[in-house]
Amino acid sequence: MQTKKKVSVSDVIASKAKEKLAVITAYDYSTATLCDRAGTDILLVGDSASMVVLGHASTVPIGMNEMLIFCNAVSKGAKRAMVVGDMPFGSYQPSNSLALENAVRLVKAGCDAVKLEGGSEKAETVKALVDSGIPVMGHIGLKPQTSSLWEGYRVQGKTSKSAMKLMQDAKALQAAGAFSIVLEMVTSEVAAEITGSLDIPTIGIGSGTQCDGQVLVLHDMLGIYEDIKPKFVKRYAELSRVISEAVSRYSVDVKAGQFPEESNTFHMDADEALLFREKVGRSKSK
């Protein structure tokens, strides 16, 4: 995206069919700063933090308090990228007023927009947030918050019936005022058709090449977990190896007395050191 200033909702919508959107998840200040400087358009503070940062088995356990901390840290590192905060499970389902209250908390923590999972059944919630001035990114296809409770993680849109439902969901979210929609693990045929039918951008994860943008979980694309490699992930680094090697070299150095080196060490002035030793000597002889 051309803009050097902060990426806005209108920049995102205007990118449709002109330029693909590069979206990545981020959860802390240091990686947000790196991703922002690397030119990512949107930093998504995903509830995937529940799994990749907090070590839970699904995205269900994470709550607002944790999300607020991650969102605040990411927003400080995002000078140009738009920051989208994920609404965690339980923060928007009970009522539209709770959804609004929690969306406001995410915006106050530094988010430029929020994301929530769900299609037509969540259109009213999306509308309530948008009417209150909060930009919303939709999320359909695989919805990890509820999929983990029901059928597990499966590719969506394999039959014409489920494909039509996804199309209706996407249109309902657009009509409700969503400024973009994540399509997660949707067959590429359906993702392409939805993308062509909407005026707002689609952001794919495991949904083929035709989406208007792509999103990946940072830890997946950096190879931080050696054993986790979903089919739709391309690894751009093998950080588990780099980190393990660095930390084991450090441990060996510490045990062998080879770290710290002279260059890592602070010293007193020579005369102060002399005085100090004299005082220590006097205090020992007392």
The smaller minimum CB distance to ligand KIV, of residues 109 and 182, is found at: 182
Question: Which residue of 217, 222, 224, 239 would you call a contact of ligand KIV, by CB under 6 A?
Answer: 217
Q: Which stretch binds ligand KIV (CB under 6 A): 1-9, 43-51, 92-100, 166-174?
A: 43-51
Q: Which of 129, 205, 222, 239 binds ligand KIV (CB under 6 A)?
A: 205
Minimum CB distance to ligand KIV smaller for 194 or for 205: 205
Interaction of residue 202 with ligand KIV, rule CB under 6 A: no
C-alpha–C-alpha distance, residues 217 and 252, integer Å = 32
Give the closest residue to 20 by CA, choosing from 190, 180, 229: 180
Alpha helices in the chain (DSSP H): 9-14, 29-37, 49-52, 64-77, 96-108, 123-131, 144-147, 160-176, 188-197, 218-221, 239-255, 270-285
The residue assigned the tokens 């090697």 is 245
Q: Is 25 in the site for ligand KIV (CB under 6 A)?
A: yes
Active site residue 184: yes
If one asks whether residue 215 binds ligand KIV (CB under 6 A), the answer comes out as yes
Between 46 and 77, whose beta carbon lies closer to ligand KIV?
46
Nearest position to ligand KIV, beta carbon: 46
The 3-state DSSP class for residue 182 equals: strand
Q: Which residues contact 64 (CB under 8 A, 6 or more apart)?
A: 88, 91, 102, 105
Residue 41 lies near ligand KIV (rule: CB under 6 A): no
Q: Which is nearer to ligand KIV, 47 or 241 (CB)?
A: 47
Catalytic residues: 184
